[in-house]
């Protein structure tokens, strides 16, 4: 195993644990802003995956880039749908007013 790969795996594992602990302790009132931030990060991932897919260096990189674009777009659309649904819960209802 190369030192670069070993270092990359080490950073990935640490980021996974830190991210899990940070998200687990988020208050329910902060979920909507957190979803907005997550959507922004996913947008950056879409740009990066489009670049990887568009380079067409190898067939594998093109396929993985395309899969990354699809997964990131699904994440963005789902995040916006969840955010919209959560914001609807805070709207005042005008049903009983004349």
Predicted local distance difference test score (pLDDT) of residue 90 = 76
> For residue 62, what pLDDT is reported?
92
Considering the chain, what is the average pLDDT of its residues? 82
Residues of the chain with pLDDT under 50: none
72 burial level (CB within 10 Å; 0-12, 13-18, 19+): buried
Q: Write the DSSP string, 55-71.
A: H-SSHHHHHHHHHHHHH
Nearest-CA neighbor of 32 among 98, 93, 79? 79
For position 27, what pLDDT does the model report?
73
Cβ atoms of residues 53 and 65 within 8 Å: yes
Per-residue pLDDT tens digits for 8-30: 899 989 988 888 887 777 776 67
Burial tier of 52 (Cβ tally within 10 Å: 0-12, 13-18, 19+): middle
Contact present, 34 and 26 (Cβ < 8 Å): yes
The pLDDT score that the predictor gives to residue 93 is 67
């Amino acid at each position: 195993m190369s030192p670069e790969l070993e270092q990359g795996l080490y950073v990935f594992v640490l980021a996974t644990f830190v991210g899990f602990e940070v998200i687990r302790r988020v208050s329910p009132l902060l979920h909507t802003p957190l979803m907005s931030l997550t959507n922004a990060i996913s947008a950056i991932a879409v740009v990066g995956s489009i670049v990887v897919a568009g380079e067409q260096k190898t067939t594998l990189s093109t396929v993985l880039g395309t899969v990354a674009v699809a997964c990131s777009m699904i994440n963005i659309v789902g995040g916006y749908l969840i955010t919209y649904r959560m914001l609807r819960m805070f709207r005042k209802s005008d049903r009983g007013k004349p």
